[in-house]
Amino acid sequence: MTDILIIGSGPAGLTAAIYALRAEKSVMILEKGAFGGQVTFSPKIENFPGSVSISGNEFADALVSQVIEAGGDFAVAEVTGLQKTEKGFLVHTTDTDYQARAVIIASGARHRPLGLPREEDLCGNGVSYCAVCDGAFYKNQKVAVVGGGNSALQETLLLSELCEKVTVIQNLPEFTGEEKLLNQCRQKDNVELIPGYTVRELLGSDALTGIRIKAVDSADEQVIDCAGLFVAIGLQPQNEAFAELAEVDAMGYLVTDDSCRTGTPGLFAAGDCRQKKIRQITTACADGTVAALEALAYLRQTEDDA
């Protein structure tokens, strides 16, 4: 029986683990993918207090090391369901079951696809969701990026150092990323920004050869030659396994109060997986702090009631 089990090892989950461990509680962190979460895909973080610039991998490695040093336990497992029990929770995974007195869901979110025909077939053959992972495969070639937020602009800057040309398509009339990142992109001679267009078709048979884009407010269409398409249009939550015990909104995000509490006592949610307006590393860490402290208060209350 673990005191607090945390589902997900991104900034929210790892921050929660640090606080729980410092309170001398036993902590188990379950992760189905890479330890560190989506932040590991970020080539450069420049908006986290105390670090002028740090890579996502460095940031994640430091957090994981801190949790290990404090005595946290990790396991690679995909959670398939949660069950409320008399003593707490039974956490079902693809490998085994875990018992915990309290659970913090910090499962994050995965990259959102375009939803176009053949997108899945071309994944790895021209379509990618991570410039850090796949950018080197397109050195000295033409590529395109879909999206206009910080993630898309960061991907663009990374690709601009490797590729012959980077074309950025955004469906809104203006790009929504930070002005500093946008200005850096504008200063690149091999970057072209095209707002107000959507990707309508992926071209090429066995591998991507280009994309067809269409204007949002007119019938204008263009074909852009590119060997790679990097999709950075946001994230979607992964909360299907928790829906029986925690309410989700229309977009699939977990519904909590300001204290990261779900409707089930002892079950908390932190980070990108929960319903919130701002999703940044700083807000994920803040969620992890709040969820851990609330989980500790819940454990104290259950001990007092016993």
pLDDT of 124 reads 81
Tell me what pLDDT residue 46 has: 83
Structural domains in the chain plus CATH codes: 2-110+235-305 (3.50.50.60), 119-231 (3.50.50.60)
Calpha distance 188→193 (Å, rounded): 10
User: Is the per-residue pLDDT at 108 higher than 80?
Assistant: yes
Q: How confident is the model at residue 88 (pLDDT cuts 50, 70, 90)?
A: very high
The rounded distance, in Å, linking the Cα atoms of 190 and 165 is 5
Among residues 38, 35, 32, the alpha carbon closest in space to that of 92 is found at 32
Q: How many CB atoms lie within 10 A of CB 167?
A: 24
- Cβ distance 114 to 231 under 8 Å? yes
pLDDT in tens, 197-223: 999 999 999 999 999 999 999 999 999
Confidence of residue 293 (pLDDT cuts 50, 70, 90): very high
Residues designated catalytic: 130, 133-134
**What is the rounded average pLDDT of the residues 225-252?**
92
Phi, then psi, of 206 in degrees rounded to 5: -80, -25
In the structure, what pLDDT confidence band is assigned to residue 284 with cuts at 50, 70 and 90? very high
pLDDT at 123 over 90: no
Q: What is the pLDDT of residue 238?
A: 86
Percent pLDDT > 90 in the chain is 80
Rounded Cα gap, residues 114 and 117, in angstroms: 9
Count of CB atoms within 10 A of residue 303's CB? 9
Encode the chain in three state secondary structure: CEEEEEECCCHHHHHHHHHHHHCCCCEEEEECCCCCHHHHHCCCECCCCCCCCECHHHHHHHHHHHHHHHCCEEEECCEEEEEECCCCEEEEECCCEEEEEEEEECCCEEECCCCCCCHHHHECCCEECCHHHHHHHHCCCEEEEECCCHHHHHHHHHHHCCCCEEEEEECCCCCCCCHHHHHHHHCCCCEEEEECEEEEEEECCCCCCEEEEEECCCCCEEEEECCEEEECCCEEECCHHHCCCCCECCCCCECCCCCCECCCCCEEECHHHECCCCCCHHHHHHHHHHHHHHHHHHHHHHHHHC
Instruction: Quote the pLDDT of residue 234.
Output: 83
pLDDT band at 34 (very low <50, low <70, confident <90, very high): confident
**Residue 235: pLDDT band by 50, 70, 90 thresholds?**
confident
pTM for the complete prediction? 0.79
pLDDT (0 to 100) of residue 305: 78
Is the pLDDT reported for residue 133 higher than 80? no
Please give the pLDDT value at position 306. 65
Q: Is the pLDDT of residue 142 over 80?
A: yes
Mean pLDDT, the chain, whole residue set: 94
